[in-house]
Amino acid sequence: MIDLRSDTITQPTPEMRRAMAEAAVGDDVLCDDPTVIAMEARTAEVLGKEAAIYMPSGTMTNQVAIRAHTEHGDEIIMESGAHSAIMETGAPAALAGVMCRLLEGERGVFTGEQVAGAVRTENVHHPVTKLVCVENPPNRIGAGIWPIEAIADVARVAREHGLAMHLDGARLWNAVAATGISEAEYAAYFDTVSVCFSKGLGAPVGSALAGTREFVARSRRFRKQFGGGMRQAGIIAGGALYALENHRERLAEDHQNARRLAEAAATLPGIEIDLETIQYNIVYMRVPMGTGVRYVEALRGHGVDILSTRGDVIRVVTNMTVSSADIDRVIEAFGKVFGE
Ligand SMILES: Cc1ncc(COP(=O)(O)O)c(C=O)c1O
């Protein structure tokens, strides 16, 4: 099977396993784990922030950030398809007690003007607007990488209104590989940044939340409250650190594979792809309503595993386990299934 369901399906490489097996460990709740400490410091350095904190998942880093930026009853602003709004089990309401004000973006991108229009005026009846969350790259159909000017525009308006800025950068590494804009350049527009090691970078576990030393200290309390305090976490942080140092550059290969597959699939009957949004490793394709699962099953019959994320959407995610030669086979399988 060529597994294109997600970039989270990867297995640690032998070198990564060795780094994990040999990682020095300690009790991370007591801030004693040397590998976690090293990994957090390196992540903060790459992102140009004062500090970072390791957590089990991207959901937790986003939700701890939202919790730490807000008080119950506040309102936060994000795009209507944002992962934090619709794919994290209602956590902003459940864990932080905040309301989400959702903006309709174009290709996943909203504007400073939209933010200005959504900020609540000071009034005893209103929730207090506190935070703007940006997801870059956005993980949903029809969305592309945020132009840096669009981020700057939103950040400027946020500052004018005294709002904090959080970046869900689960795949920020992919945006960097695609645009050549560094992690630190992106991160400079945000108070806090969440990044994942368990997606394109291929580590088995973990994400990090970066920001000021003070914010990270506050987040440490919420990580514990949410049940994310881990003990000898260096075993897994060792994999994350290895991935951070060794797997960022190879992401360009995943992007080339995604592009080649998307261009071939776009020529097939029954598939609709906005090629302008194919900029990193995720390819969403629109298919006739109700056929998604059927196509997934048909492709499985040809040795290709993908997901249907909606009745009329299928998704392919190129990843470390898939070579350029595999993509030739995937293109052939798509040709057979959609050609029929
Ligand atoms: C944009 C984005 N943010 C956050 C997450 C959550 O990450 P996790 O699955 O580690 O909780 C994902 C997961 O795919 C994602 O795509």
| Closest C-alpha among 185, 112, 111, 172 to residue 145 | 172
Nearest ligand 1 atom to alpha carbon 171? 1
Give distance in angstroms: CA of 61 to centre of ligand 1.
Answer: 10
CA dihedral 249, 37, 55, 224 (to 10 degrees): -170
CA-to-CA separations, 175 to 137, 150, 227, in angstroms, rounded: 6, 14, 30
CA-to-CA separations, 325 to 264, 278, 284, 329, 331, in angstroms, rounded: 14, 20, 21, 7, 10
Give distance in angstroms: CA of 334 to centre of ligand 1.
Answer: 27
Indicate the SS3 state at residue 44: helix
Give distance in angstroms: CA of 169 to centre of ligand 1.
Answer: 9
Homologous superfamily assigned to 250-339? Aspartate Aminotransferase, domain 1 (3.90.1150.10)
Q: What CATH number belongs to 14-246?
A: 3.40.640.10
Domain spans, the chain: 14-246, 250-339
pLDDT at 340: 75
What is the pTM for the complete model shown?
A: 0.97
pLDDT at 153: 98
Give distance in angstroms: CA of 58 to centre of ligand 1.
Answer: 5
Pocket lined around ligand 1, Cβ cut-off 6 Å: 57-59, 62, 83, 135, 139, 168, 170, 196, 198, 207
- Calpha distance 212→271 (Å, rounded): 45
Nearest ligand 1 atom to alpha carbon 198? 10
Nearest ligand 1 atom to alpha carbon 196? 10
Structure tokens of 290?
């109700």
DSSP notation for 150-163: HHHHHHHHHHHTT-
Give distance in angstroms: CA of 170 to centre of ligand 1.
Answer: 6
Positions of the chain with pLDDT lower than 70, given as ranges: none
Burial 221-248 (b: 16+ CB within 10 A, else e): ebbeebebbbebbbbbbbbbbbbbeebb
pLDDT at 339: 87
Q: Are residues 76 and 101 in contact, defined by beta-carbon separation less than 8 angstroms?
A: yes
- Calpha distance 300→296 (Å, rounded): 6
Read off the pLDDT of residues 176-206 as tens digits, 9 standing for 90 and up. Answer: 999 999 999 999 999 999 999 999 999 999 9
